[in-house]
Amino acid sequence: TLTQPNDPSLAADFAHASTPHRSASSSLLKKSLRGPSAAAAASPKSVRFSDAPSSSTANAEDPARAQLFPYRDDPIDAPTDQSQLDNQQIHAYHSEVLAAQDEQLDRLGESIGRQRELSIQIGDELDSQVAMLDEVDGLVDRHQTRLDQARKSLGNVARKAKGNMQVTTIIILIIILVLLIIILK
């Protein structure tokens, strides 16, 4: 926990942020909302800052993590002081830096190439899926037309059967009437 500001020009702001300020109206409102016992339990809130976050040091110490994630926006390794080096040493140092960058760029290029191949394969797969969907769409349209025709035919048969049913009922009733006349005579 910091007890003093890092920069002396921020001392006034730091002191203002460190002291608890409560207005009478807001504290009364909080007391009435929280109940009578909440006022005794309320304590000023504090904020803790740390200069060195523990997670970044753990990440820097783990070699497997460094191997997995070799690229950083803020590299921890500070550039070496080149003021004491002669021209040959500076040239050798820059050659090493360029070789390391070339190696990283080669790995990055290989990764991009793999991503390109994968995206081409995905595109080809999508094209084949689109062709299959178009084929299925055509088949569905054709079968829908057949179903519509069959429904129409069934409607015609039902109408004809309804009309024929009346004629059939009349004929059956006439036959029953004739039989009853013959039997009862």
Say what the pLDDT of residue 1 is.
Answer: 61
Q: What is the pLDDT of residues 74-107, one digit of tens each?
A: 655 656 666 777 888 888 999 999 999 999 999 9
pLDDT class of 39 with cuts at 50, 70, 90: very low
Please tell me which residue, 47 or 166, carries the higher pLDDT value. 166
The token pair that represents 42 in the structure block: 């309320």
Instruction: Give me the residue label for tokens 């608890």.
Output: 20
- Exposed / middle / buried, residue 58 (Cβ in 10 Å: 0-12, 13-18, 19+): exposed
Cα separation, 19 vs 3, whole angstroms: 12
Provide the whole-model pTM. Answer: 0.38
Q: Which amino acid is at 152?
A: K
